[in-house]
Amino acid sequence: MSLGAPESTSPREPGVPGGSLRQQALTVFGVTMLILLAVSIAGVYFLVHQTEQEGWRGRQREATQRVAQTVGDFMTRQQNLLQVLNLLGRDQPQGFPEALERLPQIQPVLLELVHIDATGRIKAHAPADGGILANLFTVSQSNWFRTAQQGKKYVGDMQLSAADEPYLIFSVPAADGEVLASRLRMDILNEVVADLHFGSTGIAYLVNRNGRVVAHTSPQRVLSHIDDQHPDLLRLIRTNTALWSGEYRNFQGEPVVGTMLSVPGTPWVAVTELSRAEAYASTRRALWSIAVVTALISVVMVAVIITLLERRFLRPMGWLQKGVQQVSRGDLSYRLDIVGPYEINQVATAFNDMSSRLQEREQAIALQTEALRDSEARYRAIVEDQTELVCRSLPDGSLTFVNEAYCRCFGKGREELIGSRFSPRVLSDDQPLLAATRAVLGPGNPVASIEHRIVLPDGAIRWQHWTHRAIFDVRGRICEFASVGRDVTERREVEEALHQAKEAAESANRAKSQFLANMSHEIRTPMNAIIGMTHLAMQAQAEDKRRRFLQTVKHSAESLLSLLNDILDFSKMEAGQLQLNSSPFDLRQLLEGIVSTMNVPAIENGLKLQISTEPDLPAVFIGDELRLRQILLNLVGNAIKFTPAGSVTIDVALENPSEADQKATLHFTVVDTGIGIPPEKLARIFNNFEQGDNSYVRKYAGTGLGLSICKQLTELMDGGIWVESRMNAGSSFHFTVRLQPSTEKPSAPASTGTAGQEPLFQGLRLLIVDDNEVNRDVASMILEQDHAVSTAGNGLEALMLLASRPFDAILMDVQMPVMDGLSATTFIRAFERGETAIREVPGALGPALAERLAKGHIPIIAMTAHAMGEDYAKCLDAGMDAYITKPFQPESLTATLRSLCVAGSPSGVTGAVRPAGDEPLADCPLPATVEDVVLYFKKTTRLGDERIANLLALCRRSLVDNLEKADEALEMKNFTGLGVAAHTLKGTLAQCGLAGWAEKAQEVYDGTKKDRDLPYADLLTDLRHGIGALLEHHRLF
């Protein structure tokens, strides 16, 4: 059938009826015949139907008119009868009743006759035994009476009595407003309509305007009121007044053709109905005949046409088709031998020519193919011998070519690969890259290279470099891929290594740079201080200034050293060179050592440093005591640094009670009540060069390496470090270390164990209150040897210290700025008595003092230069327990202390300790010498040379300062300031044993107090000269 190749390759275009010519011919002829058939049937139907309908309509109208006519005639006859009666009645008034009575007997249709007078009374009636009309009591109201009385004829509608007797009332006007009425049988009308037949199913009936059947061929229909099956009747009789014909459903619900006509002179409508089946019987018969005949003709015609088509056209087409099939199968020598119409012969000749030409071309192609095969074999050999992997694949993934190397690489045979959809297993990480590469291939960009990893059949992962070329067909769609790949694993590995090395180098470099940046800052800060202070110290003339500068230099140098230590530790740890010692040590001693070391800064900060340990904590552990101490010192130091008030507690707990020869985990906690650490910083706090906040760096010195070192150290000890903190509520630094408990004794006992005979007296907590720094220092130096000493510059400071921690005794100067000793003592005693509501105590101190001092009695020893009875009394009045005179001697001081603190009740002690000096110094003092002062110090304090030198320096500084202050005050005419300076000078001089010069200073002080106009400048000059040696000596150092 196919004349050319397109039949099999190109899809049929939609919309064109494909398939055989034969079917198309059939369709065209068939549809044409069908249309002809339909048109002819419709035409015939229409004509026959019209004719038949007209015929029946005419017959029906005739019948209906006959019914109407008959009924109308009947009614007219009855009316005429009454008219006649009326006329009779007029002419023969006497004979009328008899005539009446006889009538119903003659006329069976008359049921009743009545004669009624103008008032509605019955004058006569027939039959004599009465009927319905004769017995009415509503005659005057009835419609028939009133209509006739108005001079009109009355024809009533059909009435059905309770006995189902249909009747009808007629009335006519009679003379003098009288009325003649008759009642008629209605069933007679049934017979009238029953007589009318037409067709075999035609019937006739009468209905009134309310749709009630008045007369019917079957009388039961009259009696039956409900006719639910005749839905159209009421509508039709109400809407059609004249003659009407049409189709509707009758009482039985069957379709009928009906005609309606009003019966003249009555309220009725005559109806005739004929079943539609009968009415249109001829139409239907004609329809069937026509349909059958035309169908037959159509079939015959179509058959003839198709047969002709088949014989003259389709058969030669079949031969042609067979020829083409032969050629397409390769039988080019096949020739057609067709005898047929001219057109067919032409086609056959053309076909034979084409076959010959095809045969020639086939031979030429065979030669070319041979040449191509040779060429292909040569190139194939080249491709096959490549070490690169070469393959070609279709877009659906199936391989069309692979070379030897490809097969080798994936361990599969060529036969296995070609045609299969094999592809190397690409590592899933690289698949997106591969897909992206494939996606970019297009006519504008046919080549793409990619490197990715593949998994070889033996599981090895190799890097391969692939170059994919897409080959496109004429429409620009990819029809094949040619891919060349090679293994680049070695190169990738080298690259990777190089890359990593570069990364490492860069990272190390970055770290170094950052470290240097941090360090340079940390080092520069103290370095600046050292350089700046050294410069100042070199320029400073005054010894004490220079000393202060150098003090700063020393602090800075110390912090530098600590920084360098930290860096050393840190770098050791960075380098992994930090080795931990392992020797037994006493944990408790370690903790106590830390407390004693850190107590001084703690007390300076007004903090309480305490230890809390579990009672069953083993005493001795084996580990690196030094490093543990370093951690604890660091944490405690931090805690003190960042805690403005409150306490610092070191808590040690054993986390898992150790069994024999097992390491125990020790949990250390350093709890402070300090400023806390912001939550966002908590994570970073253990990093290098981090503090809680950069702003802390300014406020609190430090390298920021401490916690980092602690972290590394705890890790070295198989532990960890972490922190819990709440802002402004304090921090808890936790760390754990794993140590081996030991029963061994530590090799070197740390404690010196100075268990004195009077332990109470040793280690008293003493508070020295003096405004004179020298006095304060002398006293503290003397007492520090055996006791914990705190100092305060005036009474208020003393109260503040008292509020923050307990003391065992107080040494109190009497005359001090801000708050003198007497007032302070009065406050203390008041608090001890529980009088809490004391005025003038700074608000925050009150409750703390009350709590601390309540119900106690703290010994207070007055320190005064004036051993006057009056002063003494004042002191005792204020509540002091004893007094000593300045300059005081160690013996007297300790004796007084002991008598007060050891003897228990201090009240008994009233004795004064007098200065040890034999006699007062000369009135006119000799110029002071350094030797004298040193001697005096040695005599009074029993301190070592070094300490005495310190003391001397302190005195010197105080004297120089105060002389300068005095000069300045004098210049400014500030006599109060002069008095203060003189007072301090007096105190210091007295402490140095220079009583004469002290009196000179006292003279100045007294003068300012009493507003006396003394030659202060001269007095000060005298003083300066007198103690000049002392001041000059200073310069000699």
In the complex, the residues that contact another protein under the rule CB under 8 A are 22-23, 26, 30, 33-34, 37-38, 41, 45, 121, 132-133, 135-138, 140-144, 146, 156-157, 159-162, 164, 169, 210-212, 225-227, 234, 249, 253, 267, 284, 287-288, 291-292, 295, 298-299, 302-303, 306
H-state helical runs in 865-923: 869-878, 890-901
Q: How far is CA 159 from CA 67, 185, 225, 262, in A?
A: 20, 10, 12, 19
Judged by CB, which is closer to another protein: 271, or 707?
271
Q: How far is the CB of 379 from another protein (least distance, A)?
A: 54
Judged by CB, which is closer to another protein: 144, or 883?
144
Q: How far is the CB of 436 from another protein (least distance, A)?
A: 56
Contact criterion met (CB below 8 Å) for 736 and 655: yes
Judged by CB, which is closer to another protein: 22, or 380?
22
Q: CB-based contacts of 501: which residues, under 8 Å, 6+ apart? A: none
Burial status of residue 372 (CB atoms within 10 A of its CB: 0-12, 13-18, 19 or more):
exposed
Q: How far is the CB of 345 from another protein (least distance, A)?
A: 27
Judged by CB, which is closer to another protein: 160, or 317?
160
SS3 of 441, please?
A: coil
- Which DSSP helix (H) or strand (E) runs through 913? none
Q: How far is the CB of 290 from another protein (least distance, A)?
A: 10
Judged by CB, which is closer to another protein: 42, or 1014?
42
SS3 of 911, please?
A: coil
Q: How far is the CB of 274 from another protein (least distance, A)?
A: 17
Q: How far is the CB of 239 from another protein (least distance, A)?
A: 15
Partners of residue 608 on adjacent β-strands:
647
Judged by CB, which is closer to another protein: 299, or 727?
299
Judged by CB, which is closer to another protein: 30, or 606?
30
Judged by CB, which is closer to another protein: 296, or 727?
296
Which segments of 301-434 are extended strands (E)?
389-393, 399-402, 425-426
Contact criterion met (CB below 8 Å) for 700 and 641: yes
Q: What pairing do the DSSP bridges indicate for beta strands 664-672 and 646-654?
A: antiparallel
Judged by CB, which is closer to another protein: 25, or 895?
25
Rounded to 10°, the helix 543-575/706-716 angle is: 40
Q: How far is the CB of 154 from another protein (least distance, A)?
A: 10
Tell me which DSSP letter residue 310 carries.
Answer: I
Which amino acid makes up residue 426? V
Alpha carbon distance 657, 617 (integer Å): 9
Q: How far is the CB of 278 from another protein (least distance, A)?
A: 14
Q: How far is the CB of 373 from another protein (least distance, A)?
A: 47
Alpha carbon distance 1, 317 (integer Å): 7
Tell me which DSSP letter residue 442 carries.
Answer: B
Q: How far is the CB of 6 from another protein (least distance, A)?
A: 23
Q: How far is the CB of 129 from another protein (least distance, A)?
A: 15
Partners of residue 607 on adjacent β-strands:
646
Q: How far is the CB of 194 from another protein (least distance, A)?
A: 22
Q: How far is the CB of 49 from another protein (least distance, A)?
A: 9
Judged by CB, which is closer to another protein: 223, or 498?
223
Q: What pairing do the DSSP bridges indicate for beta strands 809-813 and 860-864?
A: parallel
Q: How far is the CB of 360 from another protein (least distance, A)?
A: 39
Alpha carbon distance 152, 1009 (integer Å): 158
Q: How far is the CB of 115 from another protein (least distance, A)?
A: 16
Judged by CB, which is closer to another protein: 302, or 701?
302
Judged by CB, which is closer to another protein: 41, or 418?
41
Judged by CB, which is closer to another protein: 156, or 846?
156
Judged by CB, which is closer to another protein: 156, or 887?
156
Burial status of residue 789 (CB atoms within 10 A of its CB: 0-12, 13-18, 19 or more):
buried
Q: How far is the CB of 38 from another protein (least distance, A)?
A: 6
Q: Is the dihedral of CA 52, 58, 61, 62 positive or negative?
A: negative
Alpha carbon distance 628, 883 (integer Å): 47
Contact criterion met (CB below 8 Å) for 357 and 327: no
Judged by CB, which is closer to another protein: 253, or 443?
253
3-state SS track over 937-1002: HHHHHCCCHHHHHHHHHHHHHHHHHHHHHHHHHHHCCCHHHHHHHHHHHHHHHHHCCCHHHHHHHH
Alpha carbon distance 720, 734 (integer Å): 8
Contact criterion met (CB below 8 Å) for 569 and 578: yes
Which amino acid makes up residue 201? T
Peptide bond into 267 cis (omega under 30): no
- Smallest CA-to-CA distance from 539 within 529, 525, 550 is with 550
Q: How far is the CB of 246 from another protein (least distance, A)?
A: 16
Q: How far is the CB of 162 from another protein (least distance, A)?
A: 5
Judged by CB, which is closer to another protein: 255, or 817?
255
Q: What pairing do the DSSP bridges indicate for beta strands 583-586 and 268-275?
A: unpaired
Alpha carbon distance 517, 792 (integer Å): 43
Contact criterion met (CB below 8 Å) for 123 and 92: no
Judged by CB, which is closer to another protein: 131, or 917?
131
Q: Is the dihedral of CA 398, 400, 406, 407 positive or negative?
A: positive
Q: Which two tokens stand for residue 734?
A: 């936790």
Contact criterion met (CB below 8 Å) for 114 and 122: yes
Judged by CB, which is closer to another protein: 210, or 431?
210
Contact criterion met (CB below 8 Å) for 991 and 778: yes
Alpha carbon distance 164, 151 (integer Å): 32
- Smallest CA-to-CA distance from 26 within 320, 292, 298 is with 298
Which amino acid makes up residue 262? S
